[in-house]
Chains A and B, each alone.
Chain A
C-alpha cells in the first residue's frame, strides 16, 4: 500500500512539474529572479520592496525565499554544488573565497561600471568587498559594526566609567558581577560571552586586538606567537578565572546572550545595531552602547557585512543584477535597513540625528576588520572555533593548543 502511495505521489509530482514547465514556457516574457535572503528578526517582510521593484520593472518577477540563518550557508553551498543556485542571494564576505573557487559567482564589474548608483556607495565598502583577484562579485547591501552594549543604570549605580582599555574592562566586569539579593549566589554577570557558534567576534575583539593575527604581512600565521597565546589566555580567563561571564557561556548563542541582556542577567555584551530595537524595547534608557575596549596593540571589532551576489548559473543575469542594484540604491536601501535594523551603505542615507547605537557603530568604523579571505574561514566559524573555545573554557585544552589547532586549520 505504501509503495502504491509513493508511486502515485511521484507521478503526481512529476505531472505537476511538467505542467509548471509548460506554463513557464508560455509566459516567456516574464523573467523570474529567484532571491534568497535572511533576517534576524522573523517579523520583517520584504514585500513592499518587491512590489516597488516589480512596478518599476514590468516583466521581471521576484521570487523571494527566506532561509533560516542557521542553515543558510549550508543550503547555499549545496545548491551551488547541485547546480541549482538561486539567481541572486544575500551573502557574506567570508564566503566569497569558497564561492569564487567554486566558480559560482558572476563578475559584476561591467554592470557596475554602467550603474548610476555606484558613486553613492561608500568607497571603503567597495574596497572591502572586492575579491582578491581584483574583481567585484558582490553588490553591497548593508553593513554593521559590532560594539559594546552596557547597562547605563548599573554603571551609574556603581559609579563606573565606560571602559576604554581591556584592563578597565576587566575591572568593570568584575565589579558588575555581583550578588544583588544577598543569598550568596551571583545574580548579575559583568559580561555575556557568546561561547557557541558565532562567538568568534567576541573572541576577536580581545584576541585580535592584543597581538594575534591570522596572517602577518608576509602571509605567515601569527596565531601562535607568545603575545597571541597570552591574548587568548586572557580571554579564556574571563570565563575560567575571573568568572565574569555566566556559567552557561560555552553553550550561549545569539538567543541566549540577547535574552541574558534583556533579563538583566548580564550587564555588558557585544553585538550590533540589528538587536538594538529588540533589547531597547525591554530596557529602554537603561541600555547604552560604546565602541569595544582597546586591546594591548590597538582596537579590533568585527565588520559585519551583507552583500548580494548574482550566480553564474543564472539564466536572467540582467534582471538579476537589476534587483541587486535596486536594493543598493539609497531609497530602497533605507527601506531594507528598516527591516534589518542595520546600517545603509549609501552616502546619501547618512543621517545627522544618529541615535546612540548608530553613533557607537560609526565611532567604531576606523578599526573595524574582517576575517581573512581564506576558504577555511567558513569551517572555522561554523564548527572549529566553537568546539575549540568550548574545550578551552572547560580547561580540556590550553590556550596554546587552541591557537595551534586554528593555525593548523589555516595553514594545512
Chain B
C-alpha cells in the first residue's frame, strides 16, 4: 500500500518530460498539416478573400479530371523510380570500390561527399549552365568530340528536359547511398568471407550470399528515406526549368508549388499536396509491410 503514491509519480513523469517535445511537434508539424487538409477542402485563392470557404470535395473532383494532375503524377513516378534506381546502383558500386584498400582511400571517401554537401541551388545553377544550349560545357565537349554537330538545347525541349534534370539529381544524391552502404559493408565481419573462401565459394557467391543479405537492412532503410526525399524535392526542378518547357517537368510537388505561388490558389494546391502525401503513405506502408513479411519468412 505504501508504494502506491510513488508508482503514480513515475507514471506522470515521462509524460511531463515529453510534453515540451510533443508541444513543439504539434505546433510545427500537426497544426500546419491540419491546416493543409482544411485548405484542401476549401476554395482559397489569395487575391479573392471574399470567396474563401469550405467547398467539400470539389478540389478533389477537379484534380481527378485535371489532365495536368495525371501528367504530373506520371512524371512523379518516372522521377522517383529512375532517380532511386540509378542512385542506388551508382552508390553501391562506389561503396564497393571505396571498401577496397588503395592509396588515397581516405581522401576519396571525403571527396565523394561533395555532390551531397553542395546546396541544391548551386547544384541546379551549375547543371543549368553545363546544359546550356548556346554556351554549355556539355555541348562543347560533345561537339569537340565529334558526337554532335549542332548544340542540343537540353532544357528547352521536353524530350530531354526531364532526363537532364534526373541526371543532375542522380549526381547530387548518389553519395548518400555510397556512404550508407559503405558503413554497412564495414560492419560485415571479415570472418564470413574467410570461411566462405575456405569452403571454395566464388566471388559472385560471396557477393550474393554474404554481402547482399548482410547489407539488406541498410539498403531497405536508405531506399525508403530517399524515396520520400526525392518525391518531395522540387528545388532543383524549379531552378533548372521552372516545370517547363510546357508542363514537361511538372511533378506533383512542382505543380502544387506553381499553383500556390504563381496562381495564388492555395486551396487547389493543398489538395495536390494532400494527394501526394496519401500516395507516399500507400507506397511507404506497402514497402514496410513487404519488408516485415520477407523478414518473417
Contacts and interface: CB of A to CB of B under 8 A. Distances in A.
19 contacts: A3-B24, A71-B261, A81-B49, A101-B47, A102-B46, A103-B49, A196-B244, A197-B242, A246-B134, A246-B153, A248-B133, A250-B245, A250-B246, A251-B133, A251-B153, A375-B48, A382-B263, A383-B262, A396-B246
Interface of B: 20-21, 24, 46-50, 132-135, 149-151, 153, 155-158, 241-247, 258, 261-264
A365 B255 CA distance: 38
Contact of A196 (B47, B132, B151, B242): B242
B47 A102 contact: yes
Nearest to B155: A251
A393 B47 contact: no
Nearest to A185: B150
Nearest to A397: B246
Given A185-B149, A247-B156, A394 B245 contact: yes
Q: Which 7 A-B pairs have the closest CB atoms?
A: A98-B47, A248-B133, A390-B245, A391-B246, A383-B262, A251-B156, A382-B262
Contacts of B158: 390, 394, 396
B251 to A, nearest CB: 14
B261 A375 contact: no
Contacts of B149: 184-185
A77 interface: yes
A265 B262 CA distance: 31
A100 to B, nearest CB: 9
Interface in A248-294: 248-252, 256, 259-260, 263, 265
A379 interface: yes
A371 to B, nearest CB: 15
A387 B46 contact: no
Given A103-B49, A378-B264, A383-B258, A7 B244 contact: no
Nearest to B45: A375
A70 B21 CA distance: 37
Q: Chain A CB within 10 Å — which of B150, B158, B264 has the most? A: B264
A310 B243 CA distance: 34
Given A251-B153, A252-B156, A394-B245, A7 B263 contact: no
Given A78-B46, A247-B153, A250-B245, 13 more contacts: A74-B262, A78-B261, A81-B49, A101-B47, A195-B156, A247-B150, A249-B156, A250-B153, A256-B134, A379-B262, A383-B258, A391-B245, A396-B246
Given A265-B134, A386-B244, A250 B156 contact: yes
A252 B132 CA distance: 10
B262 A250 contact: no
B72 to A, nearest CB: 12
Q: Chain A CB within 10 Å — which of B49, B50, B246, B263 has the most? A: B246
Nearest to A382: B262
Contacts of B20: 3, 7
Nearest to A266: B134
Nearest to B244: A390
A6 interface: yes
A260 B247 CA distance: 25
B24 A248 contact: no
A7 B262 CA distance: 34
A246 B133 contact: yes
Given A247-B133, A248-B153, A379 B264 contact: yes
A399 to B, nearest CB: 15
Contacts of A246: 133-134, 153
B43 to A, nearest CB: 13
Contacts of B258: 383
A7 B24 CA distance: 8
Nearest to B149: A185
B133 to A, nearest CB: 4
Interface string A163-205: 0000000000000000000001100000000011100000000
Nearest to B156: A251
Contacts of B49: 81, 101-103
Nearest to A2: B21
A81 B46 contact: yes
A394 B157 contact: yes
Interface in A4-18: 6-7, 10
A381 B135 CA distance: 28
Contact of B246 (A101, A248, A263, A390): A390
A383 B244 CA distance: 10
